[in-house]
Structure 1
């Protein structure tokens, strides 16, 4: 399975050299006008099709996951590509089905317990909040924000429609990702043919850097999600929070959006814990903080060799920007989209080569600094 750079080299070897065309002022003016109009029209069309493009990007991520697993299988079992891809798909499906069967009954019971205990835990927490001015202010704000009956009905209807749309979108993403993974050469060559011949090498190296950066991010993110899910579930179970493993599962899945797992899981966990008692609530807050700190200061640094160098501030503002521009889908895909933008900036604007982008660029910059100093001296 060739990468983009190899495809570009083969295409250039097969290309036929044409004699240069005579360039005139009229030709240049016409060409510039066409380029400006085409760029404006393309930008408008892209904005209209932004939801479709996000769906296509999600399909590409699924394809990248399947191709990564396929590569591992081919390297260890030396199977043909089709057989390795089939094993990868069946293995991932078997893992999902097996985990659902093994943990399904337990998690179903815990989610039911969570839905039952949350209202009573909130009712028990309200008298304690009334004992302090800060708690009373929080409770008044929460009650002021409480929706009316008609609002709840409208929200439920909207939520059901959103769930249906999300399920259909998920099916499209999975099927589309499988089609992309089944014929990667076909789509990579087609993408490169849309680029002028003189820029194909640069485009191919940039696409290789993007795919490798996304692959590294997916590996590290999967391990980070596993740590947050297991760490949160285990910690809450030890301090006696009800439905601890269900909350841990939510935290792990939500961690696909960086920093979201602890926040999403923290609200029901704290409400349930303080419903059990003040000590349990304080221990729960300690567990959530400990998991977040361990992930940020121990786990993620250990995984840096598996992930692209993405500063936390850029990650946070990338999530906010994607949410404002593209809504919920933008939030879910914000981090990989930020990685793509960062790689494009470093390759096309800063002029770094593919190896500098994949290595983080820090070592290359440090190595180049003494040389520049010596030349200046």
Structure 2
């Protein structure tokens, strides 16, 4: 019996390595696709935020009641939907009527402003400046409502009227929360193997930071809504419920949010008297000072501490790029950007690690 010659093992196939031109082309293609699908990506980012909140609730149920994660996610989602539906059924008609009254009162409020501007020396000075700016092509006509009200009503319509997008957002968030490890693992497979463990740690850090930010922001919004609504009610301002709700919702936007909620409240109070409008303005100033100097620093000790200057620039940048959705998501997007720049560029590319 003759021995057969041994068959040599096949030579290992070399891995395909893209050249510099292919890398640049792929990067440009990805940037173009991201810009074209920016609305979809923003909705996906919002769904990730909701999914993180659902997973946090499921983790709490798992620790306290021993409930598995998937049933816990479904239970948290159902509880949130039932809570929103209950609040809408209980206070929805009243809030809807108050919103109609608020929007209907804005023209009368603006006429009150015009009357004050015509009677006081300060108002006459401001009116002359507005007329000069209008003559130079800068400002809107004095007899019309400022564009901020159109922006505000458009914002409210966008927030409360996009029901289909909201349903889609919640549905995607539930799917993400149910199978978060699968989606996380699939995303990590796109990372080179030698960097995969590091990418996993960064992803976990992002999830923790976003979870802390959402918890702190939710607490801040609820407290601002309660304090503002209670203060307006004590002052005898009608529509205190809806004005407090607006103050809480718009407080998700740092710096800009208080102005979006304070301007309509002051103008509506002006229909009841100029003195009441002054008290309302002082109330908003006091609430925002307490929130900015006392409440938010306490929350940020357990959440995320973001530089105020970068926060304002992020609002301007993301707002100009993506509109109202970019304004609302500017703070979490900034938080993600800071962590990615610090971990990937500063530490991994430059080698400047805090631990030396």
Structure 1: which 5+ runs fail to align?
A: 1-18, 353-363, 373-377
Structure 2: which 5+ runs fail to align?
A: 1-10, 131-138
Looking at structure 2, the residues matched to 20 and 306 of structure 1 have their Cα atoms a distance apart, in angstroms, of 52
Please list, as runs of the form range in 1=range in 2, the aligned pairs for 1:195-210 lying within 5 A after superposition. 195-210=191-206
| Residue of structure 1 in register with 2:163 after alignment | 167
Sort the Cα spacing of 1:123 and 1:72 in 2 relative to 1 into closer, same or farther, 3 A. same
Please list, as runs of the form range in 1=range in 2, the aligned pairs for 1:170-185 lying within 5 A after superposition. 170-185=166-181
Sort the Cα spacing of 1:310 and 1:143 in 2 relative to 1 into closer, same or farther, 3 A. closer
Match of 1:102 among 76, 83, 90: 90
Aligned residue pairs total: 328
| Residue of structure 2 in register with 1:40 after alignment | 28
Please list, as runs of the form range in 1=range in 2, the aligned pairs for 1:135-146 lying within 5 A after superposition. 135-136=123-124, 138=126, 141=130, 144=141
> What does the per-residue CA deviation read over 1:167-221, in whole Å, with 9 as the maximum and x for residues that have no partner?
3322221111111111111111110111110010111111111111100000000
My pick for the range that moved more, 121-130 or 320-329, is: 121-130
Please list, as runs of the form range in 1=range in 2, the aligned pairs for 1:246-265 lying within 5 A after superposition. 246-265=242-261
Looking at structure 2, the residues matched to 161 and 315 of structure 1 have their Cα atoms a distance apart, in angstroms, of 25
> What does the per-residue CA deviation read over 1:262-318, in whole Å, with 9 as the maximum and x for residues that have no partner?
211111111122332232122111100000000011101111233112111111110
Sort the Cα spacing of 1:159 and 1:257 in 2 relative to 1 into closer, same or farther, 3 A. closer
Match of 2:39 among 29, 51, 65: 51
Please list, as runs of the form range in 1=range in 2, the aligned pairs for 1:1-377 lying within 5 A after superposition. 31-136=19-124, 138=126, 141=130, 144=141, 166-351=162-347
Question: With CA pairs under 8 Å and 6+ residues apart, which has the higher RCO, 1 or 2?
Answer: 1
Query: What is the CA distance between 1:143 and its match in structure 2?
Result: 6.4
Looking at structure 2, the residues matched to 174 and 164 of structure 1 have their Cα atoms a distance apart, in angstroms, of 15
Q: Is this contact kept in 2: 1:232–1:248, CA < 8 A?
A: yes
Q: Is this contact kept in 2: 1:262–1:292, CA < 8 A?
A: yes
Query: What is the CA distance between 1:340 and its match in structure 2?
Result: 0.6
Q: Is this contact kept in 2: 1:114–1:242, CA < 8 A?
A: no
Looking at structure 1, the residues matched to 12 and 250 of structure 2 have their Cα atoms a distance apart, in angstroms, of 55
Sort the Cα spacing of 1:97 and 1:21 in 2 relative to 1 into closer, same or farther, 3 A. same
Looking at structure 2, the residues matched to 344 and 69 of structure 1 have their Cα atoms a distance apart, in angstroms, of 26
Q: Is this contact kept in 1: 2:55–2:69, CA < 8 A?
A: no
Looking at structure 2, the residues matched to 137 and 119 of structure 1 have their Cα atoms a distance apart, in angstroms, of 22
Looking at structure 2, the residues matched to 295 and 69 of structure 1 have their Cα atoms a distance apart, in angstroms, of 26
Note the aligned Cα RMSD (angstroms): 3.0
Normalization by structure 2: what TM-score? 0.83
Query: What is the CA distance between 1:43 and its match in structure 2?
Result: 2.0
Which of the pair is proportionally richer in helix?
1
Query: What is the CA distance between 1:145 and its match in structure 2?
Result: 5.9
Sort the Cα spacing of 1:56 and 1:343 in 2 relative to 1 into closer, same or farther, 3 A. same
Normalization by structure 1: what TM-score? 0.78
> What does the per-residue CA deviation read over 1:212-255, in whole Å, with 9 as the maximum and x for residues that have no partner?
11000000000111121111111122122221121110111111
Looking at structure 1, the residues matched to 159 and 251 of structure 2 have their Cα atoms a distance apart, in angstroms, of 20
